[in-house]
Amino acid sequence: MNLQTRHNGLKLTISLLLAALFLAGNVEQSCAKGFHSGGVGSCDSCHSMHSPQSASQPLLLSSDPSSTCLNCHAGTGGVNSPAVFSPDGSALTPGGDFYWLTRSFSWLGGESPDYDHGHNIVAFDFNLFSDPVQTFAPGGTFPATKLGCTSCHDPHGKVAGGTASGRFPVSKSGSYGAGINSGAISGNYRLLGDSDYVTGNYAFNKDAPVARQSSVNKYQETDSSHVDYGSGMSEWCGNCHSAILNNEHSTGSSSFEHPAGNGELLELELVNMYNSYVKSGDFSGVTMTAYLQFVPFERGINNVQFLDPNSSAGPDSNSNVMCLTCHRAHASAFPNAGRWDFTASLLVDSHPKIGDIGATASDVNYSYYGRDITSEFGSGQGQFCEKCHGATFP
Ligand code: HEC
Ligand code: HEC
Ligand code: HEC
Ligand code: HEC
Ligand code: HEC
Ligand code: HEC
């Protein structure tokens, strides 16, 4: 069978599948609340039964998988907005706003180019293209030209082990800890690909992470309402960045090394530092209110029910450092998708900064999720590495 015939065969199979599901009734409306929470009717929000627009995609409504997602996931940010690609940086989500991939900043003697701000996903209909510099995932083999939403998220939200109802998008219980006791199918956290996920012809081998988000404030991160990370995030990133995970973060183009992973526990000294550290020079903090959204950690917990997205408590001796301690999963205002500007020894000098070419006042405001570094932390605030390593660091 030649490729074209096979492709037509696949299209026919999908058409029949979709037709059967539509005949079964229950066609849900687009962009409804609780989308991805299951139900056959939602196929048509992403797939079309007729008129395939591109020969290389299985009857998607848009040019490519990511554009299909962005039909609903582009927009202004907000507490209940699932937008991850805003027109202004207002999507203050845990994963971060792909908006920053459209902003370049420059100043006398330096620059912070758009493509350096995170994962350059390909979404043709939204003018987002692959990374012009990186050809592969640093420390791995995933090709940059193939990077899109479905490289990381399973559009059909299969549950761990691929057990139940394979095709049905299920996510709610996975992200919010609901339904675990009621016998409902619990999906992966944020529909992330599991160890059996295959995207294109690239196969994952690490499980989706354990983490929990508030079901009330689902999309806007603060110190008191944030994803409570349990375990497995660094391992999951290792699906594509295995050398960074295994070699403790050293890669070809970067000499920086740092441990990350389930086994990289915070020793007592670091636990105490995190809990007492308020800002540079101020160690008057207490454990119950120590949590800082810019420096999250994993609690070393595998059961979602023991995680609390409204806890402001700092780490204990079971906690570990992870990739998202320092990075955003999608993108940020700063180089290397940093949660803060790794290149500024004092954070008041972070870029975007007022006066930079390309930076607006709202860029500066949203870069630290609406928090003013000077008024809250002071003009002497150093790198947030200090939260664990102390003011004397390095
Ligand atoms: C949230 C959007 C979304 C929903 C809802 C959705 N799909 Fe998909 N589907 C996709 C995307 C995107 C791809 C292509 C994946 C890729 O190329 O990475 C795809 C691919 C497929 C494929 C090709 C094989 C595969 O698994 O990649 C089939 C078959 C399919 N979908 C059937 C369905 C059916 C049946 C439903 C309803 C039960 C459904 N899809 C619901 C987005 C969706
Ligand atoms: C038809 C509109 C629509 C499309 C298309 C769509 N989504 Fe969504 N998505 C939503 C809505 C609405 C929510 C918020 C649901 C809620 O808050 O209960 C959501 C939530 C999510 C979440 C968070 C789920 C959680 O557990 O918190 C992820 C991740 C996600 N979508 C990924 C995708 C990806 C990847 C695609 C493309 C393959 C996609 N979506 C396509 C409407 C859509
Ligand atoms: C599906 C594969 C895949 C997964 C999973 C993945 N990445 Fe990446 N990552 C890539 C690719 C490809 C690039 C290079 C292209 C780019 O930078 O846009 C990259 C680049 C990066 C960069 C450099 C960004 C820049 O602009 O300098 C960072 C930082 C990063 N990844 C961190 C992470 C973290 C943290 C995770 C886990 C939350 C993760 N990655 C998961 C594929 C992946
Ligand atoms: C490199 C992997 C990767 C890519 C590419 C990616 N995501 Fe995510 N996404 C994640 C991870 C990991 C999280 C959880 C982040 C966290 O909790 O800190 C997440 C979280 C989300 C959420 C919940 C809100 C948030 O930002 O935390 C939505 C919605 C979402 N992604 C949609 C998308 C869409 C739509 C695309 C494509 C435009 C996309 N993602 C591309 C890894 C990825
Ligand atoms: C303690 C903070 C920290 C942790 C933890 C961390 N990183 Fe980084 N990462 C950085 C810094 C700082 C840089 C920039 C280094 C430089 O420019 O030399 C960076 C750079 C990167 C880059 C770009 C490298 C390149 O060659 O362009 C990738 C990709 C990356 N990190 C992925 C990861 C992954 C995956 C993990 C988890 C396994 C992780 N990081 C854990 C701080 C961290
Ligand atoms: C969430 C807490 C945490 C944060 C934030 C953090 N680290 Fe670490 N760091 C650790 C842990 C845990 C270790 C491993 C135990 C140790 O060596 O003390 C470590 C080890 C190190 C080491 C020794 C590396 C080695 O291979 O032995 C250096 C250097 C370091 N960190 C630098 C940094 C820098 C630079 C930053 C900010 C970009 C940073 N750390 C942020 C927790 C953290």
Query: Model confidence over 77-133: pLDDT tens digits?
Result: 999 899 999 999 999 999 999 999 999 999 999 999 999 999 999 999 999 999 999
Q: Which distant-in-sequence residues (6+ apart) come within 8 Å of 186 by Cβ?
A: 159, 170, 173, 174, 179, 180, 304
CA 134 / ligand 6 centre spacing (Å): 26
- The pLDDT of residue 224 is 96
pLDDT digits over 125-162, tens only? Answer: 999 999 999 999 999 999 999 999 999 999 887 654 44
CA of 150 to the centre of ligand 2 (A): 12
Predicted pLDDT of residue 65: 94
pLDDT at residue 160, as a whole number: 45
* Residue 56: per-residue pLDDT: 46
Q: What is the pLDDT of residue 39?
A: 47
- Give residue 293's pLDDT: 98
Ligand 6 mean position to 298 CA, how many Å?
14
Contact 237, 229 (CB under 8 A): no
Q: Report which bound ligand comes closest to the CA of 388.
A: 6
In this prediction, the residues of the chain whose per-residue pLDDT falls under 70 are 1-34, 37-41, 49-58, 158-174, 177-186, 248-254, 392-394
Q: What is the pLDDT of residue 391?
A: 75
| Most informative mutation of 233, 247, 250, 258 for ligand 6 (most atoms within 8 A of CB) | 258
Q: Is the CB of 69 under 6 A from ligand 2?
A: yes
Query: DSSP string of 343-360?
Result: T-SSGGG-SS-TTSBT--
Q: Is the minimum distance from the CB of 72 to ligand 2 under 6 angstroms?
A: yes
pLDDT at 384: 98
Six token digits for residue 208: 């989706």
| pLDDT for position 257 | 87
- For residues 100, 237, 234, 162, the Cα torsion angle rounded to the nearest 10 degrees is 120
